[in-house]
């Protein structure tokens, strides 16, 4: 993958974390840079770690799936994107301003599971995984911290739009991978 594709992937993957960060900001009575930074660190670290795990899992099984890896990448990205769109349209989530370990750990894991699947798809390409996870983590950190601020200012207005945008981006990346492997 080229750098611009990794940036787009990072933006798409970070939309779940961004949406949860918006909820954190919405639940906070007033903006706190500490909350924004803590939320950004949690989500950024997990969004960076999960693709790395997925990448190494994908490399273990590459010989078994090399002939149809593009279909796997397409299905995974389309499923994740579709799930994001469905959840955005489905409805509201409980709003909680807590940044305690017990509150943030399940959120960080939940919003980054799709990043592990994306890491598997990265193992099918000649991507520098360490650069990719650094970019994905940095994008997620920035967007999550920004999400806390946006949530605090604007409320839930942008939450579902962010999730839908992220879902569409992931589906389009999956289509791009499939088209490149089938026709080019």
Residue 184 lies in a domain: no
Q: Which domain holds residue 135?
A: 3-179
145 occurs within a structural domain: yes
Is 121 a domain residue?
yes
Asked if the model's pLDDT at residue 146 lies above 90, the reply is yes
Token look-up 């840079």 returns 33
Establish if 120 belongs to a structural domain: yes
pLDDT at residue 11 tops 90: yes
Overall average pLDDT of the 168-172 stretch: 82
Q: What is the pLDDT of residue 174?
A: 78
pLDDT digit string, tens, across residues 110-135: 888 888 888 988 988 889 999 999 99
Using one digit for the tens of pLDDT, what is the confidence trace for 50-105? 999 999 998 888 778 778 877 887 887 788 778 878 877 886 555 567 899 988 99
Q: Is 58 part of any domain?
A: yes
Distance, CA of 166 to CA of 163 (rounded, Å): 5
- Would you report the helix, strand and coil content of the chain in percent, each value rounded to 5? 85, 0, 15
| pLDDT at 156 exceeding the cut of 60 | no
Binned at pLDDT 50, 70 and 90, residue 40 comes out as: very high
Tell me whether residue 39 is in a domain: yes
| Phi and psi angles of residue 126, each rounded to the nearest 5 degrees, phi first | -95, 45
3-state secondary structure of 6: helix
How much is the pLDDT for 96?
Answer: 67
| pLDDT for residue 80 | 76
The answer to whether residue 134 is domain-embedded is yes
pLDDT of 180 above 90: no
Report which of residues 159 and 18 the model is more confident about: 18
Indicate whether 53 belongs to any domain. Answer: yes
Position 177 scores a pLDDT of: 77
The count of domains in the chain is: 1
pLDDT of 155 = 60
**Structure-model confidence comparison of residues 160 and 2, the more confident one:** 2
pLDDT at 45 (0 to 100): 98
């Amino acid at each position: 993958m080229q750098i611009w594709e990794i940036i787009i992937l990072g933006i798409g993957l970070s939309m779940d974390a961004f949406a949860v960060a918006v909820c954190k900001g919405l639940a906070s009575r007033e903006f706190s840079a500490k909350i924004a930074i803590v939320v950004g660190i949690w989500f950024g670290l997990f969004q960076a770690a999960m693709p790395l795990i997925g990448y190494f899992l994908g490399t273990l099984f590459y010989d078994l799936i090399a002939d149809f890896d593009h279909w796997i990448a397409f299905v995974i990205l389309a499923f994740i994107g579709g799930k994001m769109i469905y959840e955005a349209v489905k409805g509201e989530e409980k709003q909680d301003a807590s940044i305690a370990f017990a509150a943030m750990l399940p959120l960080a894991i939940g919003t980054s599971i799709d990043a592990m699947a994306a890491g598997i798809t990265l193992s099918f390409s000649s991507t520098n995984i360490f650069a990719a996870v650094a970019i994905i983590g940095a994008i997620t950190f920035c967007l999550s911290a920004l999400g806390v601020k946006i949530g605090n200012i604007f409320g839930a207005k942008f939450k579902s739009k962010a999730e839908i945008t992220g879902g569409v981006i992931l589906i389009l990346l999956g289509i791009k991978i499939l088209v490149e492997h089938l026709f080019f």
